[in-house]
């Protein structure tokens, strides 16, 4: 058996990790034994969303892989171990823990923040914004600060400013140039960007060169500028650009560019054929690429080089679509028009809506050379495809940036894109790749994402990806999202609208008026539960009413989850996890009386397992008499609102998370939805309630509540996304009301909020426009619908035990009152369990 070669990767950032993924996915570990050195103590994490660390995300949630990914894949990851020397003669790398031989070596050391040589830049409270440790230092410094300044008004500087603003500091940005983001926007765009950011409460100081930093009078620091003007602040963050981390390469004699960076060729090889360099440390054709997408392309090139492939790196498009401090900024190609003599420019400015768009086109008006957008990135995807693929412009190029009411050109459809069109720049996925994936068997958006990783990087291409996938599926004769089943030629959303508008309250009426009753008047296992959920969402009638009971599955029919041995679980609601001693005693007494297995769940409730069908009414009668109500553990509805102890008990808590959790659980406990919903409420950013793994996550701040949406655990975990900040109680209720009812209205059957979000055209920004800005004009209606649900709530078990007809269903045998003799229990750890279960 051939001994594998030793491949060492120095750097475990986004690009270094992507190279590991490429090696694993392409079978290169049969050839190489891979060791990765990461200077930081954390495994690779997402720097693109670094500022979210201040709004509740932690190192694990930002991590680019599961904790055991490297071990499972057979890659050795050595975190917290910095390489201090490369011995090219011995082909070894040296750390403070030893020497490690290599046959091939990849430098993925990235970059470091540039700190201008200003006297006083090393004072306490003068920090940089680059790593999680940097952010920890900023957060610690902010605890005793009220003001903060960011030195640098570029992309990273505005990200840092957003972070300081999120820490509730009065924030200012100091920029040496005459405008913010001078590399991406021109004077007009810069002025508009300044106006929008200042409107958010961030002070902007341009054309300011800091001469020194000294003791302040009212604050910790005083910044003295070139004109002797001063600015006092408690905290200073330098974010004035980056420099390649090339010291290791310098010390071992690799070729370095005049202004830094390890010189590489088209194969990402340095002047030492055993050593490659990728990402922000690599200098290709006199250029350093400071975006993640080019780094990913370099990683793929490096894989090809390491496996004798023929892929070469030929540069990268630096077009960017950003949202900084909530402001859209887009830059494509030669956005300034200074690289193409004779280029013509079109500009559109709306000072009322604060939108600025600029086109740079060839002298004949046929080709798009560049574009600039501030305030609205709605046409970014269309413009990028014109630019990237050399598509000929319409006769009136200016129509591409005009509002629709002004005769704007139609959006460039997916059918007009060539096979070579790049859809996802982060993972370099083309339209041809997507087509090939569909031809290989992918039949939906999720399948394409899983196979290509498209839209799993920055996520900016989600809407375009969906349109391409839908178009290609339809082109192959695959029907896309048309009918819920053979009985209804409608989507779930279409059925919801029909039920709501026409006030249809029974399945029979619905299938007679809008279905194909001739196929099967009773419907099927797909449409019946879906319609049952819709009817419950709209009218909140008891699901056990005679008209609705035929639609329910087993769990909803008996309002309990059936277990593997034919018994049922009993799960009363324990709002917010708060329970009195008397109720605890009542649960214990019921469990003892009916020989039930008891378990505390992860959702802060107590499950009682092993209940016989005929005992369910008696059990619930006792529980309801003790003050309990149904916990809906069996339904597609709100399950739990998990909480920490909050400010009532915890010394770190800043809000009453228990009280809020109880309020929310009681408010939404009657809502039926396309899938189950879970909430979490944390009393501070330490996040003990794990709110960011829930469909609805709420984290307390000094000023109110931060709201996160569309997370979930399970088989495909998804971290929730920050949706709104510093909401007061009433704002929080209204926002959640709208969000949940919009989800109920538009989601597909059995679709979790996370999957709904992934498939929602326009993504999170569209959702914010609908819910926070009322772009569809439906918020009042959504709130009224939710209030109806709240006002008409009734405990389903309380309703059932008061109706003799409904109680007749709770028998193991239709013609016999005896219990099911096939149910046999045994004892384990002092509790009953099914006898047929194998003990572990």
Q: Which parts of the chain sit beneath pLDDT 50?
A: 405-407, 519-520, 813-816, 837-840
Euclidean distance between CA atoms 383 and 403, whole angstroms: 14
Q: What is the pLDDT of residues 408-441, one digit of tens each?
A: 555 667 777 888 888 887 787 888 899 999 888 8
Q: What are phi and psi of 605, to 5 degrees?
A: -130, 175
- In 72-181 the beta strands, taken as DSSP E runs, fall at 76-79, 83-87, 92-95, 98-101, 104-107, 111-113, 126-128, 147-151, 170-175
Euclidean distance between CA atoms 213 and 223, whole angstroms: 5
Euclidean distance between CA atoms 775 and 390, whole angstroms: 34
Reference 736, options 708, 776, 704; nearest CA is: 708
Residue 644 among known ligand-binding residues: yes
For residue 706, the model assigns a pLDDT of: 95
For residue 814, the model assigns a pLDDT of: 44
Residue 688 among known ligand-binding residues: yes
Q: What are phi and psi of 99, to 5 degrees?
A: -115, 140
Q: Where are the domains of the chain?
A: 5-111+244-306, 126-240, 568-791
Three-class SS of 432-497: HHHHHHHHCCCCCHHHHHHHHCCCCCCCCCHHHHHHHHHHHHHHCCCCCCCCCECCECCCHHHHHH
Query: Any idea which residue has 């597909």 for tokens?
Result: 748
For residue 324, the model assigns a pLDDT of: 72
Angle at 598 between CA 594 and CA 602, to 5 degrees: 145
Three-class SS of 143-158: CCCCEEEEECCCHHHH
Please tell me whether residue 711 adopts helix, strand or coil conformation. coil
DSSP string, 523-574: --TTHHHHHHHHHHHHH---TTSTTTGGGS-HHHHHTS-B-TTS-EEE-B--
For residue 186, the 8-state DSSP code is -
Q: Any idea which fold 568-791 has?
A: Sulfite Reductase Hemoprotein; domain 1 (3.30.413)
For residue 405, the model assigns a pLDDT of: 47
Residue 493: both structure tokens together? 């959303």
Q: Which residues pair with 527 in a beta bridge?
A: none
Intra-chain end-to-end CA distance of the chain, in Å = 39
Three-class SS of 352-381: CCCEEEEEEECCCCCCEEEEEEECCCCCHH
Q: What is the pLDDT of residues 636-663, one digit of tens each?
A: 999 999 999 998 888 889 999 999 999 9
Torsion, CA 605, CA 610, CA 614, CA 618, rounded to 10: -40
Length reported for the chain: 840
Q: Do 568-791 and 5-111+244-306 fall under one CATH topology?
A: no
This prediction has a pTM of 0.59
Euclidean distance between CA atoms 22 and 9, whole angstroms: 13
Euclidean distance between CA atoms 426 and 455, whole angstroms: 8
- Does domain 5-111+244-306 fall under CATH 3.30.1340.30? My reply is no
For residue 341, the model assigns a pLDDT of: 86
Euclidean distance between CA atoms 689 and 686, whole angstroms: 9
| 132 burial type by CB count under 10 A (0-12 exposed, 13-18 middle, 19+ buried) | middle
Choices 3.20.20.70, 3.50.50.60, 3.40.50.300, 3.90.380.10: CATH for 126-240: 3.50.50.60
CA distances from residue 136 to 147, 268, 688 in whole angstroms, order as listed: 17, 34, 18
Residue 786: both structure tokens together? 């939710």
| 780 burial type by CB count under 10 A (0-12 exposed, 13-18 middle, 19+ buried) | exposed
Q: What are phi and psi of 562, to 5 degrees?
A: -75, 135
DSSP string, 288-304: ---SHHHHHHHHHHHHH
The edge-to-edge listing of strands for the beta sheet with 230-233 is 210-215, 221-225, 230-233
């Amino acid at each position: 058996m051939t001994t594998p070669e030793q491949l060492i990767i120095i750097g475990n950032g986004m690009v270094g990790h992507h190279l590991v993924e490429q090696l694993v996915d392409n079978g290169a570990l049969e050839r190489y034994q891979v060791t990765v050195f990461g200077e930081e103590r954390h495994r690779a994490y997402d720097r693109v969303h670094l500022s979210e660390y201040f709004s509740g995300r932690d190192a694990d949630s930002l991590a680019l892989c599961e904790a055991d990914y490297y071990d499972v894949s057979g890659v050795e990851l050595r975190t917290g171990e910095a390489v201090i020397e490369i011995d090219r003669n011995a082909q070894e790398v040296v750390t403070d823990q030893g020497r490690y031989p290599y046959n091939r070596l990849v430098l993925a050391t990235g970059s470091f923040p540039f700190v201008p040589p200003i006297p006083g830049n090393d004072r306490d409270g003068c920090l940089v914004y680059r790593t999680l440790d940097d952010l920890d230092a900023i957060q610690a410094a902010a605890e005793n600060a009220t003001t903060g300044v960011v030195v640098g008004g570029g992309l990273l500087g505005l990200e840092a400013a957003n972070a300081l603003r999120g820490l509730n500091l009065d924030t200012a940005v100091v920029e040496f140039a005459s405008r913010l983001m001078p590399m991406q926007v021109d004077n007009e765009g810069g002025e508009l960007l300044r106006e929008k950011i200042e409107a958010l409460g961030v002070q902007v100081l341009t054309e300011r060169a800091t001469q020194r930093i000294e003791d302040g009078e009212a604050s910790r620091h005083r910044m003295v500028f070139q004109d002797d003007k001063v600015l006092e602040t408690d905290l200073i963050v330098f974010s004035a650009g980056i420099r390649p981390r090339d010291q290791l390469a310098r010390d071992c004699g690799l070729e370095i560019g005049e202004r830094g960076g390890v010189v590489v060729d088209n194969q990402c090889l340095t002047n030492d054929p055993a050593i490659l360099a990728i990402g922000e440390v690599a200098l290709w054709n006199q250029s350093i690429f400071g975006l993640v997408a080019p780094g990913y392309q370099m990683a793929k090139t490096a894989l090809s080089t390491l496996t004798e492939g023929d892929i070469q790196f030929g540069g990268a498009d630096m077009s960017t679509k950003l949202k900084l401090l909530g402001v859209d900024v887009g830059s494509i190609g030669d956005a300034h028009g200074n690289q193409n003599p004779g280029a013509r420019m079109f500009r559109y400015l709306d000072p009322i809506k604060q939108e600025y768009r600029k086109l740079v086109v060839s002298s004949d008006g046929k080709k798009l050379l560049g574009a600039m957008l501030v305030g609205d990135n709605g046409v970014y995807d269309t413009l990028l495809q014109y630019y990237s693929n050399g598509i000929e412009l319409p006769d009136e190029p200016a129509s591409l940036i005009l509002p629709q009411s002004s005769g704007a050109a139609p959006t460039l459809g997916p059918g007009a894109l060539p096979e070579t069109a790049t859809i996802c720049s982060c993972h370099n996925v083309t339209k041809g790749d997507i087509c090939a994936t569909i031809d290989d068997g992918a039949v939906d958006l999720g399948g394409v994402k899983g196979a290509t990783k498209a839209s799993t990087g920055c996520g900016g291409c989600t809407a375009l990806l969906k349109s391409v996938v839908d178009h290609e599926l339809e082109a192959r004769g695959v029907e896309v999202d048309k009918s819920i089943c053979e009985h209804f030629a409608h989507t779930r959303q279409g059925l919801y609208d029909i039920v709501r508008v026409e006030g249809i309250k029974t399945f029979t009426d619905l299938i007679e008026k809008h279905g194909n009753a001739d196929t099967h008047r009773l419907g099927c296992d797909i449409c019946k539960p879906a319609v049952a959920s819709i009817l419950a969402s709209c009218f909140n009638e008891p699901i056990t009413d005679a008209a609705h009971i035929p639609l329910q599955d087993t769990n909803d029919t008996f309002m309990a989850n059936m277990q593997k041995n034919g018994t049922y679980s009993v799960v009363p609601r324990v709002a917010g996890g708060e329970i009195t001693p008397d109720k605890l005693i009542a649960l214990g007494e019921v469990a003892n009386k009916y020989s039930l297995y008891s378990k505390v769940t992860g959702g802060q409730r107590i499950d009682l397992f092993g209940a016989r069908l005929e005992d369910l009414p008696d059990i619930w009668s006792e529980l309801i008499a003790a003050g309990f109500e149904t916990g809906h553990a069996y339904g597609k509805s709100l399950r739990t609102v998990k909480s920490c102890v909050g400010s009532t008990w915890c010394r770190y808590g800043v809000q009453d998370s228990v009280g809020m959790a109880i309020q929310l659980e009681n408010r939404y406990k009657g809502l039926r939805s396309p899938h189950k919903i879970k909430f979490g409420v944390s009393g501070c950013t330490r996040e003990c309630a794990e709110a960011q793994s829930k469909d609805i996550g709420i984290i307390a701040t000094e000023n109110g509540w931060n709201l996160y949406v569309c997370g979930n655990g399970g088989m495909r975990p998804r971290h929730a996304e920050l949706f709104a900040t510093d909401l007061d109680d009433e704002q929080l209720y209204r926002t959640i009301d709208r969000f949940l009812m919009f989800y109920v209205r538009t989601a597909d059957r059995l679709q979790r909020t996370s999957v709904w979000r992934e498939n929602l055209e326009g993504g999170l920004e569209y959702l914010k426009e609908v819910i926070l800005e009322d772009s569809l004009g439906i918020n009042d209606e959504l709130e009224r619908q939710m209030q109806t649900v709240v006002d008409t709530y009734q405990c389903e078990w309380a309703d059932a035990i008061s109706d003799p007809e409904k109680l007749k269903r709770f028998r193991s045998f239709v013609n016999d009152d005896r219990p099911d003799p096939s149910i046999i229990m045994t004892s384990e750890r002092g509790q009953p369990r099914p006898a047929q279960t194998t003990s572990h």
